[in-house]
Structure 1
Amino acid sequence: MTGAKDLFSSAPDANAVSSDDDALFLHASCVADNGRAVLIRGASGRGKSSLALQMMGYGADLVADDQTIVCRKGASLYVRAPDTTRGLIEARGVGILKASPVGEAQLHLVVDLDGREEDRLPHPRETRILGCVVPLLLGVDAAYFAAAILQFLRHGRNA
């Protein structure tokens, strides 16, 4: 079996913009719950795949690991995996695992693992992708974080 680095290095460049002006490739993992997706971004080794696997353990579905394609359709963003890595997710120390992927899901949340949330009750944050505003959470070092993200996707946040 090909090593993780070899398998995922064949995916499109993380910073490359596709030929479609309303789509781009991001170095990020992505899972969805009932069609509502969370994009998990961060530098290599930050735990994107680990967080995605935890959320999958709670019932989320894999959209993409390591490379995610984001497309704008009207006022909404949609995410999907590149063909080369669809249905695959890396688990460090275990290997490349197979999963039943979601073909496409609407993006509802971004988690940035390069930042750390310090506030107990943080003010809502947002980020822009392809001109669309998306709610943003910073990383939280707590066992409940994956479950809290799923709760956010399912029911939102009391602002």
Structure 2
Amino acid sequence: MTQLHANCVAFDGQGILVRGLSGSGKSDLSLRLILRGAQLVSDDRTDLVARDGALVASAPEQIAGLIEIRGLGVITGISHCRHAEICMIADLVEPGSDDIIDRMPELASEMLCGVSIPVWKINAFEASAPDKIEIALAVATGKMRIIS
């Protein structure tokens, strides 16, 4: 098992790993996705394990079902699930950082626990960030495709 400093949310069991530095918008973006119908898997720390060729995420027991909302505190009662199969990674890029989001990026992926997962760079604070995440998930799961 591997533990990452990342959030995870899922739409119908299809997980999105949201990574970024502290204050980069992980919980904010996760909350906006939850309000669109996603379920929280984990906030701030995510446990990962490979199972039958899939990467499965869960929350450490002590924080399962909890999310920290900046300005409010740690909240319980948010729609959550125990685990999800990771289908994509959203790497959060802060505005003005040296990490640039390409207009037409090459498809990227990363190996985690021996499983290859597609990765997209996202600015969490753009109004369209939740839309971009849902479209990237549709691409990652084969429901949509990118024309090269």
Match for residue 85 of structure 2 among 97, 106, 112? 106
Alignment check: 8 A CA contact 1:58 1:147 kept = no
Show the counterpart of 1:66: 44
Sort the Cα spacing of 1:56 and 1:117 in 2 relative to 1 into closer, same or farther, 3 A: farther
Distance 1:117 1:33 in 2: 27
Query: Which amino acid is the alignment partner of residue 31 of structure 2?
Result: L
Letter paired with 1:49: S
Structure 2 spans left out of the alignment, 5+ residues: none
**Identity fraction in percent:** 34
Distance 1:60 1:121 in 2: 27
Gaps of 5+ in 1: 1-22
Conserved? CA contact 1:33–1:153, under 8 Å? no
Task: Choose from 136, 139, 143 the match for 1:152.
Answer: 136
Shift of 1:156: 4.1
Q: Structure 2 CA distance, aligned partners of 1:124 and 1:117?
A: 15
For each residue in 1:66-112, what CA deviation from the matched residue of structure 2 results, as whole angstroms up to 9, or x when unmatched? 01010101211000111111111011011112213111110000111
Indicate if the aligned counterparts of 2:66 and 2:75 stay in contact, CA closer than 8 A: yes
Query: CA 1:156 to 1:82, structure 2 compared with 1: closer, same or farther past 3 Å?
Result: farther
TM-score of the two chains, using structure 2 as the length reference: 0.85
Quick one: which amino acid aligns to residue 90 of structure 1? E
Match of 1:28 in 2: 6
- Among 96, 104, 111, the residue aligned to 1:121: 104
2:119 to 109, 129, 136: 136
